Homo-oligomer: A and B are copies of this chain.
Amino acid sequence: MSITIKDVARVANVSVATVSRVLNKKKNVSDDAIEAVNKAVKSLGYSPNFLGRDLRMSETRRILAIIASMKHGFYSDVIMGMEQAAFTQGYDVLIATTHDDPEHEMHLLGMLFSRSVDGAVILGPKLDAKVISELAESYNIAMCLERLDDCKALTVTIDNVKAAKDAVNYLIGKGRKKIGLITTEVRSQSSIDREKGYFEALKEHGIEINKDYVYYGDYDYESGVAGCTKLMQLAEPPEAIFSISDTLSFGAMNAANELGFTIGKDVLFFGFDNISYAHIFSPHLSTVEQPCVMQGRLVVEKLIENMKAEERDRGIYMLPHSLILRESTGD
């Protein structure tokens, strides 16, 4: 059927062992053999079957990145970082989507159990901390961007509490006291942490917390519209709004604009993630930037280390964030 190493051996008039040695550039092979094998490989159009190799070596040199969806292009940079780190060590990165379905996430982790990949990085887990902790005992699993409370698995992320706090502190520094928050109903850890940062910033500045200033929706643009519309129609509308994601800020800004408020003056906006549209959207959005490429790079480096190590590192690594200031905060 298909051309195998045996065919190459026959044509090159050597043994399969020699063919394998040539193909894997081992030493102690004669120049004659190298030439004969290469010639045979070319003439036959041979390409080694990795299923055989992987089985024998019990490694695939492939890492799976599990993401919720490709809708937002937000994962682009993390994946790039992962690829950079992977390629330099001879690994490939494959991506698969869960569509927010924990069962499907588990199905994809199955590629780990079935040895179809050597390791997996989950970006935004839908499975709970307990399940992942348990699996991380026996398999090379890591998390990136999103940490999970009480989850003992290698994690690379940022300090979302601190980041949100920095953003809100910046708004306070601009003289704003009435500050709104648009966040999500879904209790993802990053939402929880960012909310926490928001509350901490207010508290530390002795600003009383007003529950009417907090809007719980989902992750969509429309939720930003709805949230801002509600907040800005209060008797005392907020003078600034922090959203836990850029997309929410876009909705919020369009809504504020619609209601006749001047963005950057009447009301300031601060987003989170610095997605590419943040500087396309007009007015340009001030936002928190995560070091996505670096997170991707680090998580894969650590994961590959784990694959070789005696004992798995299941620590949590936090990389530094930064604030990007643009028109939406009057900068």
* Interface residue A254 (Cβ < 8 Å from any Cβ of B): yes
* Interface residue A199 (Cβ < 8 Å from any Cβ of B): no
C-alpha gap A64/B64 in the complex (Å): 13
Interface residues on A, range: 35 or more
Q: Which of B51, B94, B113, B280 contacts A95 (CB 8 A)?
A: B94
| Overall SS of chain A's interface | mixed
C-alpha gap A251/B83 in the complex (Å): 30
| Chain B residues whose C-beta falls within 8 Å of the C-beta of A175 in the assembled complex | none
| Chain B residues whose C-beta falls within 8 Å of the C-beta of A49 in the assembled complex | 55, 114-115
Nearest residue (CB) in B for A48 is B114
Nearest residue (CB) in B for A52 is B55
In the complex, how many angstroms separate the beta carbon of A139 from the nearest chain B beta carbon?
A: 10
Q: Is the CB of B114 within 8 A of A97?
A: no
Nearest residue (CB) in B for A281 is B281
Q: Which of B1, B47, B73 contacts A71 (CB 8 A)?
A: B73
Q: Which residues of A contact B (CB under 8 A)?
A: 1-2, 47-52, 54-55, 58, 60, 62, 64, 69-76, 79-80, 83, 92-97, 99, 108, 110-111, 113-116, 221, 247, 250-251, 254, 257, 276-277, 280-282
